[in-house]
């Protein structure tokens, strides 16, 4: 008698467990929404047509239940990779790749290029020729071991880009005589 | 049907789904920050604010840089620390007169905890994990109760002054899901920030995690962060 009760108990537990498991990992709305790759082959179409599943899917579509992932994914990337700038400014990309500034993104200096990539005008992108622009990285403030620094006495008063090419900084167009 | 057969058949479905998930290594994102490479230029803060529409002049940000200057002494409790935070587009480090000699910069962001306090405390389940392990906020569900702001041990979550809901770093989820780098990683000039999939053996974060001694912030909180630090001075940085 004892044994039988135990077996029935285990059996019921197993069923409950199996149902819960397959709901959570197989047919729960979040799984169906996310579209786990193997789900299509295992879950029969009928389950997706079940009223409750259908309601939830409809709710998501109508916005009653917010569509978490879609919303996050639908945001536009504003910063472009170097390759995107390189599509139109190939000469600058080629220049920078083989220079000491190869680790820099165009947009570290030029600011965000979302608008510019669409408009392609000069005013939609920042070209900062000031000393401060270079000094934001190169000034010898304390704690900058990872970069070659200069102090304010490095040719003061002259813009860095007069001598250094911003895209190939070590090709210096200046000599002691001039 | 015998009872034994019945029990066997009951186990088939869970067994199948277990089998299906075996051997399939998902994507698991992580960031590795090399503190010794950070020069405190603040390009990441600016880029993050623009990319994610966080007001530029306000002292809130999804990622920020903490500058530390320290005067170490023994016993440790006598160590003097000066801390300055950059969380606007204005860079305070350029004109900074530090009090002590040792200076270093620590970029900080949401640690994307694997066991996140903010997810646990959210009363409306507006915070959730994606399958890559990123913690996201559902801004439609968020009611702005700020439980998560108090719960976060890293101070990484804040109330967005325009949207009136909580906001935090998402590892630029909209970018990484398209295969782009997060904005802060993209603009970092020295490569202090590295981002990638730790399950991918060819990725840089995998290599860095294998080769270097890494630390996480506040391990005692049991949050299991996804942001790892190399060369972090854990006696000073908290």
User: In chain B, what are the domain boundaries?
Assistant: 3-230
Q: Mean pLDDT throughout B138-146? A: 89
How buried is B222 (Cβ within 10 angstroms: 0-12 exposed, 13-18 middle, 19+ buried)?
exposed
For B87-138, how does the pLDDT look when each residue is reduced to its tens digit (9 = 90+)? 999 999 998 899 998 999 999 999 999 999 999 999 988 888 888 889 999 8
Residues A110 and A52 in one domain: no
The answer as to whether A124 is a domain residue is yes
Question: Is A42 inside a domain boundary?
Answer: yes
Whole-angstrom distance, CA of residue A156 vs CA of residue B41: 21
Q: B102: exposed, middle or buried (C-beta count within 10 Å: 0-12, 13-18, 19+)? A: middle
> Which strands form B214-215's sheet, in the order they lie side by side?
B193-197, B29-34, B227-230, B214-215
Give φ, ψ of B195 to 5 degrees: -135, 145
Q: Is B90 exposed, middle or buried (0-12, 13-18, 19+ CB in 10 A)?
A: middle
| Domain shared by A69 and A86, yes or no | no
Residue A178 lies in a domain: no
The 10s digit of each residue's pLDDT in B70-84 is 998 888 888 899 999
DSSP at B180: P
What does the alpha-carbon distance between residue B156 and residue B217 come to, in Å, rounded to a whole number? 12
Residues facing B34 on adjacent strands = B230
Q: How many domains, chain A? A: 2
pLDDT in tens, B41-61: 999 999 999 999 999 999 999
What domain range is A133 assigned to?
A: 82-172
> Does an H or E element contain B56, and which?
none
Say whether both A62 and A89 belong to one domain: no
Which token pair is A27? 């047919």
Residues A15 and A49 in one domain: yes
Q: Residues B114, B223: contact at Cβ < 8 Å? A: yes
Same domain, A59 and A86: no
Tokens 């990622």 found at: B63
Does one domain contain both A42 and A70? Answer: yes
Q: Do B41 and A141 touch (CB under 8 A)?
A: no
Q: What is the rounded distance in angstroms from the CA atom of residue B189 to the CA atom of residue A137?
A: 8
Give CATH for domain B3-230: 3.30.70.20
Task: Considering only the beta carbons, identify the residue of A103, A136, A139 that sits closest to B191.
Answer: A103
Residues A115 and A62 placed together within one structural domain of the fold? no
Clarify whether residues A12 and A37 are in a common domain: yes
Spatial separation of the C-alpha atoms in residues B118 and B155, rounded to whole Å? 11
User: Could you tell me the CA-to-CA distances from B34 to A135, B8, B78, B197, B214 in Å, in that order?
Assistant: 22, 53, 27, 17, 9
Domain boundary among A42, A74, A106: A74
Residue A96 sits in the same domain as residue A168? yes
Query: Does A29 fall in a domain?
Result: yes
pLDDT of B213 reads 92
CB B113 within 8 A of CB B224: yes
What is the three-class DSSP state of B193?
strand
Is residue A177 in some structural domain?
A: no
DSSP string, A75-107: SPP-SPPHHHHHHH-HHHHHHHHTSTTTT--HH
Whether residue A166 sits in one domain with residue A96: yes
Show which of residues 44-83 on chain B sit within 8 Å of chain A, judged by CB atoms: 47, 50-51, 67, 69
Closest CA to A22 of B23, B18, B133: B18
Q: Are residues A65 and A138 in the same domain?
A: no
Chain B residues with beta carbon closer than 8 angstroms to that of A146: 36-39, 190, 192
Structural contact between residues B66 and B108, judged by C-beta atoms closer than 8 angstroms = yes
- Residue B9 burial by Cβ neighbours in a 10 Å radius (0-12, 13-18, 19+): exposed
To test the contact with chain B by mutation, choose from A39, A68, A139, A152 the residue with the greatest count of B C-beta atoms within 10 A, namely A68
**Chain A: residue whose CA lies nearest to B138:** A68
Confirm whether the ipTM is greater than 0.85.
no
Q: Residue A37 has what pLDDT?
A: 45
Residues of chain A with pLDDT under 70: 28-67, 174-178
The verdict on a CB contact (< 8 Å) between B140 and A77 is no
> Which of A33, A54, A74 delimits the end of a domain?
A74
pLDDT at position B196: 94
Model confidence over A32-66: pLDDT tens digits? 655 444 444 455 555 656 666 666 665 555 555 55
Same domain, A90 and A140: yes
Min distance A177 CA to chain B CA atoms (Å): 32
pLDDT at residue A60, rounded to an integer:
56
């Amino acid at each position: 008698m004892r044994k039988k009760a135990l077996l029935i108990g285990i059996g019921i537990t197993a069923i409950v467990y199996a149902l819960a498991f397959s709901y959570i990992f197989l047919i729960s709305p979040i799984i169906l929404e996310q579209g786990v790759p193997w789900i299509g082959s295992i879950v029969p179409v009928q389950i997706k047509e079940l009223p409750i599943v259908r309601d939830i899917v409809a709710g998501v579509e109508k916005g009653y239940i917010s569509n978490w992932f879609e919303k996050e994914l639908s945001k536009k990337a504003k910063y472009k990779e170097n390759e995107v700038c390189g599509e139109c400014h190939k000469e600058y990309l080629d220049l920078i790749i083989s220079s000491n500034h190869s680790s820099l993104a165009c947009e570290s200096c030029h600011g965000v290029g979302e608008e510019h990539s669409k408009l392609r005008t000069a005013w939609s992108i920042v070209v900062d020729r000031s000393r401060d622009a270079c000094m934001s990285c190169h000034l010898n403030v304390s704690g900058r071991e990872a970069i070659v620094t200069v102090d304010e006495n490095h040719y003061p008063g002259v813009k860095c880009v007069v001598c250094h090419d911003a895209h190939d900084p070590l090709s210096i167009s200046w000599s002691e005589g001039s | 049907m015998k009872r034994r057969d019945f029990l066997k058949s009951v186990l088939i479905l869970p067994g199948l789904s277990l089998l299906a998930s075996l051997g399939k290594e998902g994507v698991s994102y992580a960031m590795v920050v090399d503190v010794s490479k950070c020069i405190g230029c603040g390009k990441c803060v600016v880029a993050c604010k623009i990319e994610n529409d966080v007001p530029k002049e306000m002292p809130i940000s999804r990622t920020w840089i903490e500058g530390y200057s320290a005067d170490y002494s023994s016993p440790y409790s006598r160590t003097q620390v000066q801390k300055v935070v950059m969380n606007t587009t204005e860079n305070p480090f350029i004109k900074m007169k530090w009090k002590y000699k040792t200076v270093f910069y620590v970029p900080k962001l949401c640690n994307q905890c694997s066991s996140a306090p903010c997810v646990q405390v959210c009363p409306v389940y507006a915070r959730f994990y994606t399958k890559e392990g990123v913690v996201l906020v559902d801004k439609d569900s968020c009611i702005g109760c700020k439980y998560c702001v108090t719960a976060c041990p890293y101070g990484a979550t804040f109330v967005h002054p325009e949207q009136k809901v909580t906001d935090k770093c998402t590892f630029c989820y909209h970018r990484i899901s398209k295969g782009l780098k997060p904005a802060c990683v993209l603009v970092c000039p020295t490569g202090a920030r590295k981002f990638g999939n730790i399950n991918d053996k060819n990725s840089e974060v995998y290599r860095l995690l294998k080769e270097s001694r890494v630390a996480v912030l506040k391990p005692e909180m049991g949050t299991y962060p996804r942001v790892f630090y190399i060369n972090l001075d854990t006696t000073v940085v908290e």
